[in-house]
Amino acid sequence: MEKLNPFDTILKQIDMAAEKLKLDPSIVERLKHPRKIIIVSIPIRMDDGRVKVFTGYRVQYDMTRGPCKGGIRYHPDVNLDEIKALAAWMSWKCAVMDIPYGGAKGGVACNPKEMSRGELERLTRAYTAMIIDEIGPYKDIPAPDVYTDSQAMAWIMDTYSQFKGYPVPEVVTGKPIELGGSEGREEATGRGVAICAREAAKHVGIELRGARVVVQGFGNVGKFAAKLLQGMGCRIIALSDSRGGIYKESGLDTLAAIEYKNRTGRLSGFQGCEEITNEELLELECEILVPAALENQITETNADKIKAKIVVEGANGPVSFGARKILHQRGIFVVPDILANAGGVTVSYFEWIQNLRREHWTEKEVNQRLEEKMVKAFNDVLALAKQYNVSMADAACLLAIRRIADAMKKLSL
């Protein structure tokens, strides 16, 4: 796939919003720069006795509307521009959902697939110790992201709590239930994607029952989005992971695919399916396409080959700035990432509230609150898209940036 600088996309989106909203240039300038950038070198003793130094990042983009919120990812391609862009998108995501948070993102350049559990624990605890003065329940609250999970959050919480001398579950979200995690958190992002797909289908006039769905990426977001959409009556015709995809026009069993992936570590070889590449998967004819892998999977080089009627961005930035324009011009309805995958941060917010209050809500209560938040946000963005006669992607940026800019004005920044 074409390599693009994701932060260039951020700057283009800010310029677009500034022009349409007629923003004060001083606010525009603030919007283009993260509040704080932290870069650390993390020496870790590996299992074979070697010491390896990893580079870790934490970018706090904006705190105008509340404490920073954002995931931590472990991936070989983690770099500063990516983390800056993801932190900006988190700021916007929280604003779109009208959650009182700013945005942050963290990451370590490593390959977790080649690391043992012990190595990952030592890396996570050391990374936490090095940024410990920069995080906190009222300052910056991390969460899981690509190749991190509830176990990693437990290590972060425990390390932070040891430094403080008492348990601080509210320092992170996405924790195990046993340590103050929220019911419904694991599937929250995928649930938000499914809700947005359902609302988009209503708007476009597509019947969900029997609608063909293609999901790229079979991590936490993709698998739950596929499972929930199948539960709504959709026909899941293709799935993929980092190794490749599987395709079955008559529809495949998502629950069986999840079990197979858990057992074998891959989707390839799943019984009764053809094997296809991730590139071929994106270009399949379908009603709903969910790119839920990494950024820049649909770019200007392949946007004209997309045959879906609806694209729901499960990943962060899976459709490039230029590609979104092409898809919009072709009449393809795109639900942007800062709306579509905001279910995770929304339930993270619910988890944070529960921790601060020392409460524990039922899964039914969490899912009901998420449903209300997602539907309201979808309708808020859709209303702005109609008002300005722009795409949903542009409307989501307009809504987020307007809310942040209005808050900046009130603070006289």
Active site residues: 105
By DSSP bridging, strand 36-45 and strand 212-216 are: unpaired
Among 284, 248, 287, CA closest to 267 = 248
Residue 105 C-beta-side C-alpha neighbours within 13 Å:
25
Measure the CA–CA gap between 150 and 145, rounded to whole angstroms: 10
Q: Are 277 and 244 in contact (CB under 8 A)?
A: yes
Residue 18 C-beta-side C-alpha neighbours within 13 Å:
15
User: Torsion angle, CA of 57/62/68/71, rounded to 10 degrees?
Assistant: -40
Measure the CA–CA gap between 109 and 253, rounded to whole angstroms: 35
φ, ψ dihedrals at 381, nearest 5°: -70, -45
By DSSP bridging, strand 212-216 and strand 68-75 are: unpaired
The percent of the chain in helix, strand and coil, each rounded to the nearest 5, is: 50, 20, 35
Among 252, 206, 207, CA closest to 230 = 252
Among 152, 17, 4, 14, CA closest to 88 = 14
